[in-house]
Amino acid sequence: MIAVFILGSKCNMNCKFCMSEENDLNKDFIEKKLKELKGMVVFTGGEPLLYDVNEYLSIAKDLGLKTKVQTNGKLIHELNLDLVDVVNLPVDGCKKTHDWLREKGHFKTVMRAAKFASEKELSVTTVLTSVNLNEIEEIYDVVNSIGASSWKLFKFKPKGRGREHRELSISEEEFSKAVKKAKNIAENLKVYAVRDPDKMSALVFRNTNKKFQNHQ
């Protein structure tokens, strides 16, 4: 089973398509839930390295869980790689598009982070929007060049900061076409599609309610 902890929305970036709007998960709640799990745990945010992710990884490893951290890569040097099995990084287009969607210079940051974590299994996420929909081949080349083993494509949803950038929306048909193309060219990778980030098939722990944080 895969369990995903969305630690909260704190981040050190301001990506245009950011869909994050969760409140922080309670630390005791995370530690309690970890003890009930088997299989793989994924820590995401926001930026997990702005939370106590190394502590959670340590607990997870002591429990024999496989671990994955989904980071934007800016604080990769703070990640205790000894406790991580899979490092997930974002690639959202060629350098120009990626930097426009995220921030200037971030594409290079991702490349550096991939190098830093190259001894680990790498995976990549891409948020498909109206501006990178036609860059599937370019994105695949980057995913391939950093040696990632899997590639997850998210359909942009205008939530979080993304509400201010509805022009980035794509249709269901456009998303399906792009996913099909990705699966055709990326035969050497596991390619996954997420049509709605609020309906992932994994067990997801997220705090969407202010009261939840204080009452769990």
Q: What angle do CA 207, 208, 209 make, to 5 degrees?
A: 95
Using the contact rule CB under 6 A, the part of the chain among 8-16, 76-84, 137-145, 198-206 near ligand SF4 is 8-16
The rounded distance, in Å, linking the Cα atoms of 7 and 15 is 18
Q: 69-128: which residues touch ligand SF4 (CB under 6 A)?
A: 72
Q: Smallest distance, Å, CB 188 to ligand SF4?
A: 26
On whether the CB atoms of residues 202 and 2 are closer than 8 A, the answer is: yes
Of the candidates 49, 104, 41, the one whose C-alpha atom is nearest the C-alpha of residue 68 is: 41
Cβ distance to ligand SF4 smaller for residue 104 or 215? 104
Cβ distance to ligand SF4 smaller for residue 165 or 182? 165
Q: 17-76: which residues touch ligand SF4 (CB under 6 A)?
A: 18, 20, 45-47, 72
State how beta strands 86-90 and 66-70 pair: parallel
Q: Smallest distance, Å, CB 63 to ligand SF4?
A: 26
Cβ distance to ligand SF4 smaller for residue 11 or 186? 11
Chain center to CA of 67: 13
What 8-state DSSP symbol labels residue 207?
A: B
Point out which residues bind ligand SF4 (CB under 6 A): 11, 13-15, 18, 20, 45-47, 72
